[in-house]
Amino acid sequence: ESWAEFCNKAKDADMLIFEDRKHGDIGKIARDQMGGVYDSRSWADLMTAHLISGPSVLDGMAEGWGNVGRHGGVLLLAQMSSAGNLLEIPGYTDAVVEAGKEHPACFGFIGNGSRADELAELRKKVGEVKMIWTPGVNLVTGDAELGQRYGDPTEAVLAGSDGIIVGSGIHRADNPTEAAKSYADVSWNALLQRSGL
């Protein structure tokens, strides 16, 4: 009941709901998982996915939303911020960008917010056709627990991120509301700086 209330409030406020689900299987499985116990196809507007199983994941997710009369967008993981991740294998990011640029279900890409130089390279490959969102940012930068790495949100936006994804920087803060405002201010000011305003 409280989740339905949240979704209704988001809709009333004209806000999109982002589900960082990271679908990674073939299209049929991704479609079926969207309609599973959480029925994310009925409330999530944007979701993440790996392309490791091929572009059918995009088709399956589009079909999942379509099965309930909705449209949604997929953010493909082109990079990750975690240490030692296999998306750094040569050619992988290029293949993801090529597949995603041409697919109507691909809203954009997930880039590495902890490494501004890698993010800038991704922006060059993507161009301005699709968005890039970046996890791995924090106002306190450096290595964290279990392989997590954090970069500066301002540097990420200046390097090409259109939106930052912040988790622990907000939910582990002493005052999550103030922390969220700080991240919003920092990222907005960086977007203004990047656009020359």
Supply the residues annotated as catalytic. Answer: 22, 25
**Phi, psi (rounded to 5 degrees) for 163:** -160, 135
Distance in angstroms (rounded) separating the CA atoms of residues 18 and 20: 6
**Phi, psi (rounded to 5 degrees) for 110:** -95, 125
Q: Let me know: does 150 contact 138? Beta carbons within 8 Å.
A: yes
Distance in angstroms (rounded) separating the CA atoms of residues 105 and 109: 12
CA-nearest of 79, 83, 87 to 147 is 83
